[in-house]
Structure 1
């Protein structure tokens, strides 16, 4: 696999760049946000890459930092996410914002990405939540047990107003199972 390229930036286009390394020109696809972070044409560049093999071809995706490449690979592991959608997500959300949106079950933050609707956002949250670790999680607003219950209720199709009403007054530090049971009982009475 090609994990990193170090060479000269030969071309910077709308969808990617061309890096000359060792006498070979590598075409690398990248998001517009990532392209803006690379140096000017003619300068030395390091591109962290992911080689994606498909039946119809091979594509090389590039990122200015290894962390973004690793997040790209994590996104590819989610159900229904291909390289184009994963690149779009990283093109619109910085790594910290993506992690925060997943951990706090903030589907609205994910829907700013073209091609990500409410259902896709919820699927991303369900598929990826366990893979993201945030040591500062308790300081994040809404990142406790109630956020997990909120995410579960959204996944079941409840509307935000219904969820707010069901969670109102429940202890933020309770066990997820007990909170979910209590919220479902409240929703069942309506």
Structure 2
């Protein structure tokens, strides 16, 4: 006696598709908010929903993040490698933008980018790029003359960071030469020049004196 096979309730005429494979590169963590639980020299741990996340931050900004127990928000960039997932965080979105822009420069990795932003604010970086001043990067660990020049060239027009002084308002050549000879960077020269009184003409000696007084007070 033959038996009639009933169709399975799970049968379908359309073949099932396998789920699309997931890649860590698709994961975007652009910010996180939580409680500051630990503070290191160049990193912090933020507890979010009971999970502690370690975030690398510029060492000069550690104090700006907050005190242990404070509620904090960091703008973050997740860097993915074959064997690691590393979070880098900044108190402002400008910091994150500057960090990710630096990573687009050949020869600049996360550690070097973090080192740069430990030495200069995003606004200072934007000013150095706008004024084409590679000397601003002098003394930054991992940044030599070639990389500094490359940063200035490759980031031109790519940073949407507001600077306090217009790059077109350049000081006169003699004042610039005098102050840079004393070791000041172009952004410092421009800041000092902006502080000078403009309601009366000044001799070069007076400009230098007033500029040095301003810079000494910073």
**Using the alignment, how far apart are the partners of 2:81 and 2:31 within structure 1?**
20
The answer to whether the Cα contact below 8 Å between 2:38 and 2:45 also exists between their aligned partners in 1 is yes
Match runs of 1:92-171 below 5 Å: 92-132=119-159, 136-141=166-171
**Using the alignment, how far apart are the partners of 2:171 and 2:159 within structure 1?**
17
Q: Which residue of 2 aligns with 1:3?
A: 30
Q: Secondary structure at the match of 1:74?
A: helix
**Using the alignment, how far apart are the partners of 1:48 and 1:130 within structure 2?**
22
**Using the alignment, how far apart are the partners of 1:68 and 1:140 within structure 2?**
25
Aligned-residue Cα RMSD (Å) equals 1.6
The answer to whether the Cα contact below 8 Å between 2:97 and 2:159 also exists between their aligned partners in 1 is no
The answer to whether the Cα contact below 8 Å between 1:53 and 1:59 also exists between their aligned partners in 2 is yes
Question: Is the radius of gyration larger for structure 1 or structure 2?
Answer: 2
Q: Secondary structure at the match of 2:73?
A: strand
Q: Kindly indicate which of the two structures has a greater share of residues assigned to helix.
A: 1
TM-score by length of 2: 0.62
Number of matched residues?
142
> Relative to structure 2, which stretch is displaced further, 108-117 or 128-137?
128-137
1:123 deviation in Å? 1.0
1:57 deviation in Å? 0.8
Q: Which residue of 2 aligns with 1:55?
A: 82
TM-score by length of 1: 0.70
Q: Which residue of 2 aligns with 1:23?
A: 50
**Using the alignment, how far apart are the partners of 1:107 and 1:66 within structure 2?**
24
CA separation of 1:2/1:132 partners in 2, compared to 1, >3 Å: closer, same or farther?
Answer: closer
Gaps of at least 5 residues in structure 2 are: 1-27, 173-218
1:115 deviation in Å? 1.2
**Using the alignment, how far apart are the partners of 2:157 and 2:90 within structure 1?**
24
Q: Secondary structure at the match of 2:143?
A: coil
**Using the alignment, how far apart are the partners of 1:140 and 1:79 within structure 2?**
29
